[in-house]
Structure 1
Amino acid sequence: MLIQLAHDLPDYFYDVFVTRFDFWLAFGVLAQLIFGSRFILQWIASERAGKSVMPLSFWFLSIAGGLMTLVYGFVRREPVIIIGQGLSTGIYFRNLALIFRERQRRRGAAA
């Protein structure tokens, strides 16, 4: 079984990444790269600050990558992606709304 799996693995990857390569696969990979880059950005910001921080750009990358991945899920008819990214993207927008509300409240208090 394990030997057969090891033998079939190169064919599997060839099928997934070469045979099925099209615009939407490239779009989906780009979406994942944008979505994943938010963690690198957050890590760099935290290292610079010497504590865990969540920069505003983290949420913008979350929304951009999430929406792109959601589009990919709709095009590929992937219910797991549609449900996951649909719910998550709503949360990212809500976090931005809370951040901007807090900033506006602080400006009002400072004036």
Structure 2
Amino acid sequence: MLIQLSRDVGAYLYDVFVAKFDLWLAFGIVAQVLFAMRFIVQWIASEKAGKSVMPIAFWFFSMAGGTLTLVYGLVKREPVIIMGQALSIFIYIRNLQLIIKESRRRRAEGKSPA
């Protein structure tokens, strides 16, 4: 039973990552790597600060990875990906707008940016 399961999983992974490999799959993988980088950036920044922080790079990686993942979903006609990313991009843009607004306010008050 375990041997058959191992063969089935191996055949599945081969089919998904090798037999169906094309440039769009590579594009989608790059998009997911960019999207995953936001968590790594946030984790490193939090470890350095000794508390949970959300660096601006998190939002830029979110935008880049989310946009590329949305493009992939649109090209591949994947409704789950499209639904998951379409609204998220607006949230990333809004967070960046709020960060820029706060940074300008702090500069106008003569305070250093957070």
Same fold (TM over 0.5): yes
Deviations 1:42-101 (A, max 9, x none): 111111111111111110000000000000000100011111111111100000001111
Alignment of 1:73-88 (within 5 A): 73-88=73-88
2:89 matched residue in structure 1 = 89
Superposition deviation, residue 2 in structure 1: 7.4
In structure 1, distance between residues paired with 2:87 and 2:4: 39
Alignment of 1:19-98 (within 5 A): 19-98=19-98
Aligned length, in residue pairs: 111
SS at match of 2:53: coil
Q: TM-score, normalised by structure 1?
A: 0.91
In structure 2, distance between residues paired with 1:100 and 1:108: 12
In structure 2, distance between residues paired with 1:31 and 1:67: 8
Superposition deviation, residue 5 in structure 1: 4.3
Percent of aligned pairs sharing the same letter: 65
- Amino acid aligned to 1:18: V
- Amino acid aligned to 1:71: V
SS at match of 1:54: coil
- Amino acid aligned to 1:86: A
Q: TM-score, normalised by structure 2?
A: 0.89
Structure 1 portions without partners, runs of 5+? none
1:99 matched residue in structure 2 = 99
